[in-house]
Structure 1
Amino acid sequence: MAATNFGELATAFATLLVVVEPLGLAPIFLAATVGQSRAARSGIASRACLYAFCILTGAALGGEALLRAIGITIPAFRIAGGLLLFAIASEMVLGVRIGRDSDTAAKAVGENGGQHIAAFPLAIPLMAGPGAITATLLIAGEAHGDPARLVGLIGAILAVILICWAVCRLATRVEQLVGASASIVMEKLIGVLLASLAVQYVMDGARSIFV
């Protein structure tokens, strides 16, 4: 049982890590916080990660109940969620996601002078966007309300968010270390992995309905 729980925890962590893609935050975080002091950037990173953790934890704890309340079955959500994740993966493979997220960050800074960038666009949609929320709901659905499995999911969420926090705090070094070319290649590889995961979710949902 312990091995199974560890395997599920590892799967949840890997899934969220692929969807959130923390390394891709570095250049966007730097662009969104340009002109800010080191202390201000630290505060923004901490608040953004706190907001994202609360959003994803809320989805993990209350998502399945919400789906039941509005009459959506887990198999149907697996198919819909898989299709959404596949669309996000396609954007990553085609190189659309980085440019779009950078434009979103620049627009947010321009509109509010950087006052709320911890919430938008850093927490939403970069860390806790539709893809991450969907993945969290899908994984929570597999737990079937088991407290131990939900705690494991929340632990996986916390681990991914802590990685996001570390990337934001070390954004300059991360950007220099990874480089633009390597970042593009990594995003495309991660996109392929996410597309495969999305197809698996669709297949699992279809199997639950028709078998």
Structure 2
Amino acid sequence: MEFNIKEIFTATMVLFAVIDIVGNIPIIISLREKVGHIQSEKASIIAAVLMIIFLFVGERILNLIGINVNEFAVAGSFILFFLALEMILGITLFKEEDASPKVAAIFPIAFPLLAGPGALTSLLSIRAEYAIENIIAAIIINVIVIYIVLKTSARIQRFLGKSGITIIRKVFGVILLAIAVKLFASNIQELFN
């Protein structure tokens, strides 16, 4: 096991941008108003478990259907690209509406808001480039941030304001767009080698 600070930082930033916990504060606040209390601990732990399980089992599932990690990374780069466009342009491509008070921590918060298709695709995409221990460290860092944001979402919204959240979301959208292009470029070369 060899931890690499650069890999941990980059993987953390990729997941942070894809999960977009800051950009999801308005969704979390409206959900809290609908269902009352959100179990921050439960949502964070379930999201972490889903991401770590998919990190290990996702590649086996791909192998069963005859797809390698590089091919999945190229497909994942397209998803990241569209997620980035969604963040930059302020459009919504995917929206989940109904939430039951009993399952609010799991659905829609843990899945698909936190450990959604974008995050799971990103995990396998970055697995093609980074060591697994660095990705797990990135997941843990993101889950800690997710927990803090879930616990303090009302205060964060008051502090940043609507325009602050919009600016942060657009900045992370541009970062995610650049990461999507890098993932595409490096993995498309592997496919042709």
Q: Would you call these one fold, judging by a TM-score over 0.5?
A: yes
- Given candidates 130, 136, 148, the residue that maps to 2:123 is 136
The reply on whether 1:188 has 2:188 as its aligned counterpart is: no
Instruction: Provide the rounded CA distance (Å) in 1 between the counterparts of 2:109 and 2:69.
Output: 29
Number of equivalent positions: 193
Q: Structure 2: 5+ residue runs without aligned partners? A: none
Greater C-alpha Rg: 1
Q: Is the 8 A contact 2:59 2:68 kept in 1?
A: no
Aligned to 1:28: 27
Aligned to 1:127: 114
Aligned to 2:79: 84
The reply on whether 1:94 has 2:89 as its aligned counterpart is: yes
Aligned to 1:205: 187
CA deviation profile, 1:106-138 (whole Å, cap 9, x unmatched): x323xx3x2211111111111111110011111
Percent identity at matched positions? 30
Q: TM-score, normalised by structure 1?
A: 0.84
Q: TM-score, normalised by structure 2?
A: 0.91
Q: Structure 1: 5+ residue runs without aligned partners? A: 144-148
Aligned to 1:151: 133
Q: Is the 8 A contact 1:25 1:164 kept in 2?
A: no
Aligned to 1:5: 4
Q: Which amino acid aligns with 1:194?
A: L
Distance 1:6 1:24, change over 3 A: same
Q: CA RMSD in A?
A: 2.0
Instruction: Provide the rounded CA distance (Å) in 2 between the counterparts of 1:6 and 1:204.
Output: 21
Distance 1:176 1:100, change over 3 A: farther
Instruction: Provide the rounded CA distance (Å) in 2 between the counterparts of 1:124 and 1:36.
Output: 16
Aligned to 1:146: none
Aligned to 2:98: 108
Instruction: Say which structure is richer in helix.
Output: 1
- Given candidates 75, 80, 104, the residue that maps to 1:117 is 104
Instruction: Provide the rounded CA distance (Å) in 2 between the counterparts of 1:35 and 1:61.
Output: 35
Aligned to 1:51: 46
Instruction: Provide the rounded CA distance (Å) in 1 between the counterparts of 2:35 and 2:182.
Output: 42
Structure 1 residue 25: Cα displacement: 3.0
Q: Is the 8 A contact 2:74 2:184 kept in 1?
A: yes
**Where do 4+ consecutive residues of structure 1 move more than 6 Å?**
none
Q: Is the 8 A contact 1:78 1:204 kept in 2?
A: no
